[in-house]
Structure 1
Amino acid sequence: MNDYRYTRPEQFPPIVKNLIIINALVFVAQLLFDSQINLTHKLAMWPIIPEQLKAQLILSGIITDDQTFKPYQIATHFFTHSTSSFFHILFNMFTLWMFGRTLENIWGPKRFLFFYLCSGVGAAALHLTIQYFRAEPLLAALESNNEQAIISNIGALAPAVGASGAVMGLMAAFAYLFPNTEFYMMFIPVPIKAKWLVLGYAAIDLFGGVANIAGDNIAHFAHLGGAITGFIIVFIWNKNNRRTFY
């Protein structure tokens, strides 16, 4: 007797659905309370900077104590988005749904949630590490009163918000499991396979992170950290059973 049972994949599996709801609720709270309590500043992940630089910046009034790293921000920052652009949360939530629904249907809710949160933490870890080392030139610039160098390195103090790092982990996992799945991108007339799509995004982030272009407010190394973490996790999970799909 055949005991096989077909389970129809859910279009909105529970973890993906609840993650989108939480992000949306936090975004609404930001819009309502930013003017009163600077909610985004409290939820964003501020960089870890050397104590000497931190003291000097607070003393000179460049930053306040609210604009310094707190451990809880590792968790809150990837449920928080920029309120200056609705596209930020829209793109992240659409990408979470597009890739996350497939992965949650394969892995189940618990494993998917573990994967998503680990990707977000991995994104935070790489971002914080890079920001810490970028703070050293800023300290030197402040001590030498080099205005041009201060402007060039002031990005080391920028906070990070957004689910992009965790979402990049999902994209990396999807590209590993379904490398030849084709996507159509806006303004590109030919389909692109998942593996090339994700590698392309990673290359752009690597260039943007290394180039450190003035005015670029994208946390490129957070994206890379999420992608690397996601790839490592799915590679380990898939190492023994070789369940790669095409």
Structure 2
Amino acid sequence: MARMGSMPFGFPDFRGATRQLVLANLVAYFLLAVAGLALSPAAMSYIGAHFSFVPEYFLHGWLWQPLTYSFIHPAGAVLGTLFELLSLWFLLGFLEPYRGANWVMGLYASAVIATAIVGAAIYQAADKVGHPMDQAPIYGCMGGIFGLLVAIGVLFGETEFMMMFIINIKAKYLAIIYALIAFAMIFGQNKLYAFAQLGGGLGALLFIRFAPRRGVGFAASEWVYGLRNRYYRWKRRRAGRKFEVYMKKQGRTVRLDSRGRQIEDDPNDRSRWN
């Protein structure tokens, strides 16, 4: 766990992945606000049902919802949306200089998707055991925000933040307090939302444990390039075998190694390659 001093009062730089995610959410908010002025309530309800996360719809094939629900912010919830976007700015901006844009993007995406998956799993499990949950749609990026907070609590737990602009509190304690609040919500009306938020924290923990240091995107590109290089090596070996067969038909014995280079009869004779 990294040890750092108190964070200065103020927001971090607005750039990189931080700027991209905050602006994407802001654009989505204003698009829905403008649509709300132009379309009927029935049409807006249709849009909300399609792009927010509804477990029953997801389980029946609406597989895009875990990728879209975090961008849905009700036009009337101005203060809630402002709090979410400021939290995104602060938490992402804190992590990005230390871990890089690709890593924080992967972390946030993992927390958001885990929020939806855990919500769907809890909804299905409750229905199977005969205690169905109320199916309120899940929207907004609070699951992703909780995942970012958990990541900071794990990686930079000794860092102190200003809580309520009054007192300093260490990041690990702030993450624990938020987790306890989410856990307490399980005993309230919106159990599904509480379980889903805890799923965002779980997704962040799994990402920290198993994700590559430079991010999933970098690891994926490395895997693709490795696959391409293995293909090229296979083509060289295949061409080498064909060449060996051709030379054998000409009455000569030629042997090639796995890199396509000729194997000399005298291993001490390296003049061919000098």
Aligned identity (percent) is 23
In 2 relative to 1, CA 218–25 (structure 1 residues): closer, same or farther, beyond 3 Å? farther
User: How much is the aligned-residue C-alpha RMSD, in angstroms?
Assistant: 2.8
Runs of 4 or more above 6 Å deviation: none
Structure 1: distance between partners of 2:80 and 2:90 = 16
- In the alignment, structure 2 segments of 5+ residues that lack a partner are 1-11, 214-274
Structure 2: distance between partners of 1:14 and 1:219 = 30
Q: CA deviation at 1:235?
A: 3.4
Q: Which residue of 1 aligns with 2:15?
A: 13
Spell out the pairing of 1:1-246 with structure 2 (5 A cutoff): 11-34=13-36, 35-36=39-40, 37-38=43-44, 39-48=47-56, 70-136=62-128, 155=134, 157-186=135-164, 189-209=166-186, 211=187, 213-214=188-189, 216=190, 219-236=193-210
CA contact (8 A) 1:11 1:101 kept: yes
Equivalent pairs, count: 197
Structure 2: distance between partners of 1:161 and 1:85 = 12
CA contact (8 A) 1:49 1:132 kept: no
Amino acid paired to 1:92: E
**TM (normalized to structure 2)?**
0.64
Structure 2: distance between partners of 1:127 and 1:236 = 22
Structure 1: distance between partners of 2:200 and 2:105 = 14
In 2 relative to 1, CA 69–45 (structure 1 residues): closer, same or farther, beyond 3 Å? farther
Structure 2: distance between partners of 1:109 and 1:176 = 19
Structure 2: distance between partners of 1:154 and 1:111 = 35
- Which structure has the greater CA radius of gyration? 2
CA contact (8 A) 1:119 1:227 kept: yes
**TM (normalized to structure 1)?**
0.71
Amino acid paired to 2:32: Q
